[in-house]
Structure 1
Amino acid sequence: MQIFPVLIKEFKFRPLYFAIPTLSRSLTSDAKHSNAVPRTCYSILVNFLLNRKIDEAERLFGKIPSPSIYLCTKMIGGYAENGRLNDALNLFDRMPVKDVVMWNSIIKGCVECGNVEMGMKLLDEMSERNAVSYTTVINGLLRFGRVEKAEGLFREMPEKDVAAWNAMLYGYFENDRVEEALRLFEMMPRRNVISWTSMVSGLDQHGMSEEALVTFRKMLGFGIKPNSNTFASAITACATMEDLVLGSEIHGTSLKAGFGFDAYVAASLITFYANCMKIDDSWRVFNEKMHMNVVVWTSLLTGYGLNHKHEDALTLFADMIRIGVCPNQSSFTSALNSSSEVESVDLGKEIHGVAVKLGFNTDAYVGNSLVVLYSKCGNMDDGLLIFKEIAEKNTVSWNSVIVGCAQHGHGKWSLALFAQMVRTGVGIDDITFTGLLSACSHSGMLHKGRMLFHYLCENMSMQMKIEHYACMADILCRGGKLDEAENLVKTMMPMKPNLSIWLALLSGCRKHSNIEIAERAAENIFRLDPNCSAAYVLLSNMYAATSRWNDVARIRVKMKRRGNIKQPGCSWVNLKGTRHEFVSGDRSHPLCDQIYEKLEWLGKKLKEIGYVSDQRFALHDVEDEQKEAMLSHHSERLAICFALITTVEGSTIIVMKNLRVCGDCHSAIKLISKIVCREIVLRDSTRFHHFRDGFCSCSDYW
């Protein structure tokens, strides 16, 4: 059942103000009462400006014969708020008399429109400046990172009020000048609640949450009453620290202070309880009052995702749309992330449609989540199209598409995208190189993988991480260079090898049937984690592939004694929002008879074109006929048969699997794609396989 039936409807937004009489009728009726003309026009003009109807306001303003300084100041501010700075400056220049409020208004307009230089020039021209004049320019300079210039202007101020000190304090934190902020706070002759709130918020945002909470306690000790922003900042710090006790105390204090229903306090509380894995308490905070504030809804939406309640998150997003709360950038990102986690491309497409209607389709953060969604759900082509639409691509955008292409076996695409990324000058991080090395691994590019790894070691300023060595070990193992991979792990790494690196080596040994190195890798794994079931299974499968059944039995007995249970192979298909799961030999599905009928039909067709099962992948010591039957009933084949009987003929089949696909199934699915004339996308534990017309995108290299 669709849970987003309302997404296909257009959004309708209610006007902010009641309808007002038309301008012509107002002027006509007021012409009979000359004393009422200015008052009526003024109220209509202010209404236009409040509704950001600048063109209507301009026309009305032009019809007022002698506008007052107050009205001219309002018009100047209106021009600036709508980005029409030149019109604001022209009107300002025409004014024969300018008071300090008008000067401050035009300076503020320059700063808000990004022209700080003009704001400074106007400040120099002022004959009578006040603290507001200086503070407005200081705020602008700090907003654009010109800290030294702001400091100079701050020192020039003849009289510094608390607002000016607060501007500098906030600006220091915004520009990552934490030490300067701390010194300034100590120097302040007078502090108000805004000063303390800036400290609490700034310290928390710079990874000093514990110090932020100490500051909050000091504030209370000095008798300063917190406002809603203070409480929100303190609760956010508790969320970062995951301090349930202190956060609950602050929650109680905020209720006593009368901020229990404040939207931003509620949003912070929802995030706090979600971070502490108390999502039911998050829901209770949310449910105490019906907030129409998007921040509150998004906090719960994100909290559900954090607590792995993705279905609840998607239901909440649908409710949000239904009652008319317009999602923001973060809402879409959280909802799309939940769609990715439940691997529901259908729901993701509906959310994508709403994002397009609201103009978020070119936003970097929403676009990044869409790229991840489509690539994770097996549709990399759509992921690439979304990537191209992103207006201002950031590092995460490039990383998402590079990693996505790597997972789908498009190694050359990943390298080509990396070359474009370098040309654009976007910052490269460790995730970029992990994606590139993974691309080389999945595409069999041993030589390019080596070159990239050495370039990373020798020319990049970033510190090499264990993930990079794990990727390089995987590249060497897949390329058959097992001795070189073992040497890399044992002698070349500056850090101690972890479980994932030894598992990569063990997995490579299985591919190339090198039991000697595999046993050494397994010894190191069991030294780190004696209960690592993946290592037991890999080693057991290697013994089974070479018919060493005594060793298989020994490994299984060892697993049983330690209480290790092999993770059962499971495959699933997402169909119309419902996940259909299958395990090997499964007969519990309602369509079981039809599934096995289709499976039998496929078996006959496979034999007709010469398919012979590879019994090395039958991991039990049984007769050949039993091995063949066991292989044909693997979970991925059952999932494919289910998709064949439930989806439109000719459409792409997408199957997910929790383990690595076995070699026999891989060979069989290549032929099945040719028999049924359909593309079959299979995502296993390591990558995506795209089967078309008897071939796989991995070129049998995975």
Structure 2
Amino acid sequence: MAKNIVSLIKANSSVCHLAQIHTHLIRTHLIFDVFHCNAMLNAYNQVSSPSKAFSFYRHMRSLGVRDNSFSSSFVLKSCAKIPSLHHVQQIHGRILQGGHQSDSLLLTSLMDVYSICRDLESVRKLFDEASQRDTVTWNVLISSFTSNNRTRDALLLFDAMQSPEYGSEPDDVTCLLLLQACAHLAALDFGQRIHQYADDHGFGNLFKIRNSLIAMYSRCGSVDKAYKVFDEMSERNVVTWSAMISGLAMNGYGREAIDAFIEMRRAGVIPDEQTFTGVLSACSHTGLVDEGRKLFDMMRFEYGLLPNVCHCGCMVDLLGRAGLLDEAYRFIVNEMRVQPDAAIWRTLLGACRIHRYVDLGERVIKHLIELKAQHAGDYVLLLNIYASAGNWEAVSDLRRLMKERGIHTSLGCSTVELGGKIHEFIAEDDSHPRKNEIYAMLDEIAQQLKIAGYIANLDSELHDMDDSEKDSALYYHSEKLALAFGILATPPGRTLRIAKNLRICVDCHNFTKVLSNVYNRMVIVRDRNRFHHFKGGFCSCNDYW
């Protein structure tokens, strides 16, 4: 009878049927076996009903059924689907009471769920208290750090786990996690270390590693290295091609991205949704409106793919950047088959800033308010629109509104990797140990650039102040401090790589163009939107970003 019940549980795939079985077990008094209980817990997970699993777990406890490590494992899976720190702490307590804390699978499951609940302190405490720390445990810790915006700390774990004290060998999963971290931080040197480690340990040719290397090198602005990895692959799947196309697109090589897409089709690889996101993005970053329209139609009519929000966002970006803002608005309102989200409206708001469309910008903000999705960045874009139109009264009113609503803007932050260490700068930063040298170098750079013809773009300062005050405020932007540090700390001729958390302002863009020529430096800046490759006084974006 017991085996029949378990078979019945496994065979059913709906919450309704499981509830009926549950009722039958209660009536026939078969529920008291932990084996049946675990089967039910697992079944609720299989049908994606975590709340039912929690209820059943509480019920089995109330009946006096003593849970085991499998019970805890199943209910932790439910915690991962509907994160609740209170529930996780309860399960953690039961694991300790049951004496199952030495179970490595439960340990990593607990760490993972605490991470999902944003409780990194508990993740680290579990890790530190573990009797054994194998590679899987380290990988969960690294993953917890990267998913909770502790990316720099995650990189430090690569060396820590290999120290004699711990002696754990990073595996292919470790490399994948750290390559993603390097991509996020634009940490090229560290990424190359991971690449070398993967090659030395025999998993450098795995598809997933190679594809991640292409993505990492692309997001570090090193397209040549990304292409070298791509070119050396004897086989390429759709993920490989999509990664290369996206890498070319984000670095400003729009035509090359489209050429790669054509070559992919010739090779008989069928593009997917991600491929079209990459190639449409290439069109938007390089102003290829006609090509973008054709690709959007190809996606729908030739490959039968339904455009998602990302594809529609690319089209709005493409039309908006090209100055076709009314058409972009009509596309959102009349042509999209999916509900426009906040990202779509923000894309159009960014185009309004570029082309100084005040009225449309105000309309877009209203859409964001309706979605209850507006945040500080949206108001900054609207401030940009008002300021560029010289409407300082509207700027003042909007700032007052932001203050009343408690809306605070994000600080601009720029990072530079040097010798595997990440150096971080904010505007008017005085926290760096070499701050005096950095500011002295910035003064020297500014003098040289003014001789070469650089003039500050005062429109980039959004406060109503006199010109000298604006010039002073622009002088200490985080990008400029990062550039000064890079010039100071690296030998002449070395490429400088900077990652910025926000969009680079027009003034810093002009400043970097002139610097690249005066100091004969290649400067690669990755801002929130794209890459800018500065060389000889020009930028790869052709001032179109």
TM-score category, normalised to shorter length: 0.7 to 0.9
2:442 to 599, 618, 622: 599
The Cα offsets for residues 439-492 of structure 1, whole Å up to 9 and x where unpaired, read as: 211121111111122233434444332232222111101111112112112222
Residue 86 of structure 2 corresponds to residue 239 of structure 1: no
CA deviations 1:293-320 (Å, max 9, x no partner) are: 3323323332333333334433444332
Q: Which residue of 1 aligns with 2:139?
A: 298
Tell me the SS of whatever aligns to 2:261: helix
Q: Deviations over 1:168-197 (max 9, x none)?
A: 999x9xxxx968xx99xx9xxx9x999987
Q: How does 1:132-531 map to 2 (within 5 A)?
A: 204=45, 207-209=48-50, 231-244=72-85, 247-248=88-89, 250-254=91-95, 259-322=100-163, 323-389=166-232, 393-422=236-265, 428-529=271-372
Native 8 Å contact 2:383 2:395 kept in 1: yes
Q: Secondary structure at the match of 2:509?
A: helix
What is the percent sequence identity of the aligned residues? Answer: 35
Structure 1 pair 316/540, CA: closer, same or farther in 2 (3 Å)? closer
- Contact 1:267-1:296 at 8 Å conserved across structures: yes
Looking at structure 1, the residues matched to 41 and 238 of structure 2 have their Cα atoms a distance apart, in angstroms, of: 30
Change (3 A) 1:583 1:459: same
Query: Per the alignment, do residues 613 and 256 of structure 1 end up closer, same or farther by CA in structure 2, a change over 3 Å counting?
Result: closer
Pairwise CA distance, 1:400: 3.2
Deviation at 1:698? 0.9
Query: Aligned partner of 2:180: which letter?
Result: N
Contact 2:438/2:481 (8 A) holds in 1: yes
Equivalent residue pairs, number: 533
Answer whether contact 1:363 1:391 (CA < 8 A) is retained.
no
Deviation at 1:559, TM superposition (A): 2.5
Q: 1:315 to 1:673 in 2, by over 3 A?
A: closer
- Map of 2:533 onto structure 1: 690
**Pairing 1:668–2:511 present:** yes
AA matched with 2:119 = K
Question: Following TM superposition, by how much is the alpha carbon of 1:421 offset from its aligned partner in structure 2, in angstroms?
Answer: 4.3
Superposed CA deviations along residues 251-274 of structure 1, whole A, max 9, x for unmatched, are 555556554322223222222332
What is the rounded CA distance, in whole Å, between the counterparts of 1:587 and 1:299 in structure 2? 35
Pairing 1:573–2:416 present: yes
In 1, the alpha carbon distance for the partners of 2:125 and 2:471 equals: 55
Q: Hey, what's the Cα distance between the residues in 2 that align with 1:233 and 1:216?
A: 10
CA–CA separation in structure 2 for the residues paired with 1:343 and 1:687: 12
Contact 1:434 1:471 in 2 (8 A): yes
Amino acid at match of 2:148: N
Following superposition, the deviation at residue 409 of structure 1 comes to: 1.2
- Which secondary structure does the structure 2 equivalent of 1:682 belong to? strand
Between the aligned partners of 1:439 and 1:217, the Cα distance in structure 2 is: 53
- The CA distance in 2 between the partners of 1:619 and 1:250, in whole Å, is 51
Which of residues 479, 482, 488 in structure 2 aligns to 1:639?
Answer: 482
SS of 1:681's equivalent? strand
Compute the displacement of 1:517 (Å): 2.6
State the SS of the aligned residue for 1:574. strand
How far apart are the structure 1 equivalents of 2:127 and 2:461?
53
CA distance in 2, matches of 1:552, 1:299: 47
User: Is 2:127–2:133's contact at 8 Å kept on the other side of the alignment?
Assistant: no
Structure 1 unaligned residues grouped into runs of 5+ = 1-161
Q: 1:223 to 1:382 in 2, by over 3 A?
A: farther
- The Cα offsets for residues 619-674 of structure 1, whole Å up to 9 and x where unpaired, read as 34444455445444433223212210111221110122232222233233222111
- Taking the aligned partners of 1:299 and 1:579, their CA distance within structure 2 comes to 23
Structure 2 letter corresponding to 1:538? L
1:569/1:658 contact within 8 Å kept: yes
Following superposition, the deviation at residue 381 of structure 1 comes to: 2.5
What RMSD over aligned residues (CA atoms) do the two structures have, in Å? 4.0
| Cα separation, partners in 2 of 1:636 and 1:290, compared to 1, 3 Å | same
Pair 279,408 (structure 1): closer, same or farther in 2 beyond 3 Å: same
Normalised by the length of structure 1, the TM-score is: 0.66
The residue number in structure 2 matching 1:616 is: 459
Letter in 2 for 1:643: G
Distance, in Å, in 2 between the alignment partners of 1:592 and 1:227 is 57
Q: Which amino acid aligns with 1:645?
A: L
Does the Cα contact within 8 Å between 1:239 and 1:247 map onto a contact in 2?
no
What is the CA–CA distance in structure 2 between the aligned matches of 1:587 and 1:654, rounded to whole Å? 21
Instruction: After TM superposition, give the deviation of residue 569 of structure 1 in Å.
Output: 3.2
More deviation, 356-365/528-537: 528-537
Q: Distance in 1 between matches of 2:435 and 2:175?
A: 38
Given that residues 294 and 328 in structure 1 are in contact (C-alpha distance below 8 angstroms), is that contact kept between their aligned partners in structure 2? yes
Code of the residue aligned with 1:693 in structure 2: it is G
Query: Which consecutive unaligned segments of at least 5 residues does structure 2 have?
Result: 22-29
Q: 1:217 to 1:510 in 2, by over 3 A?
A: closer
Q: Which amino acid aligns with 1:276?
A: C
TM-score, normalised by the number of residues in structure 2: 0.83
SS at match of 1:321: coil
Matches of 1:582 and 1:244, distance apart in 2: 34
CA contact (8 A) 1:363 1:390 kept: no
**Do the aligned residues in 1 keep the contact of 2:503 with 2:527 (CA within 8 Å)?**
yes
In structure 1, distance between residues paired with 2:426 and 2:89: 45
SS at match of 1:480: coil
Deviation at 1:687, TM superposition (A): 0.7
Which stretch of the first structure deviates more once superposed, 676-685 or 531-540? 531-540
For the 8 Å contact 1:546–1:616, the answer to whether it is kept is: no
Q: Secondary structure at the match of 2:202?
A: coil
Point out the more displaced range, 360-369 or 615-624: 615-624
Cα distance in 2, alignment partners of residues 589 and 264 from structure 1:
42
For residues 205-247 of structure 1, the C-alpha deviation after alignment (integer angstroms, 9 at most, x for no partner) is 6645456667878999999987755653443333333355555
User: Which amino acid in structure 2 is aligned with residue 270 of structure 1?
Assistant: M
- Corresponding residue to 2:496 among 642, 650, 653: 653
Give the residue type in structure 2 aligned to 1:569.
G
Mapped to 1, the partners of 2:428 and 2:391 lie a distance apart of 25
Aligned-pair CA distance for 1:355: 1.8
Task: Report how far residue 402 of structure 1 moved.
Answer: 2.8
Output the amino acid matched with 1:260: Q
Are the counterparts in 1 of residues 186 and 499 from structure 2 also a CA contact under 8 Å? no
Q: Equivalent residue of 1:507, what SS?
A: helix
Q: Is the 8 Å Cα contact of residues 595 and 641 (structure 1) preserved in structure 2?
A: yes
